[in-house]
Amino acid sequence: MYTIYHNPRCRKSREALQYLNEQGAALKIVNYLNEPFTKETLKTVLDLLGIPPSELVRKNENDWKAIPNRNELSQEEIVEVLVQFPKTIERPIVTYKDKGVLARPLEKLIFFWNNH
């Protein structure tokens, strides 16, 4: 089963969800703004993505910009910020079995789909 960490207000997230539905994917939809990540679940997703927390940050998001020392944070501190301010998490995220993809742009999701 595929899992999409989804923000229904995000066009890219809606496009990814539509693509997965069109492919007939067995799908679990997690609206991460309503069902927030814990530190543990976010770390698990980061491991599936194979990226550091800093690559999952929406750097133009106001909650991120409001952190005065944001450029000096450790990766562990960034995880804490992402959990505390879920709007700062880049989306959509799609996971399947032991892998995942930050599905932005959609072509990354298409590649991920075609290689699993």
Quick one: pLDDT at residue 108? 97
102: enclosing H helix or E strand: strand 99-102
Which CATH class name applies to 2-114?
Answer: alpha beta
Active site annotation includes 10: yes
Mean predicted confidence (pLDDT) in 51-78: 96
Mean predicted confidence (pLDDT) in 48-74: 96
Catalytic residue among 3, 4, 7, 10: 10
Quick one: pLDDT at residue 116? 82
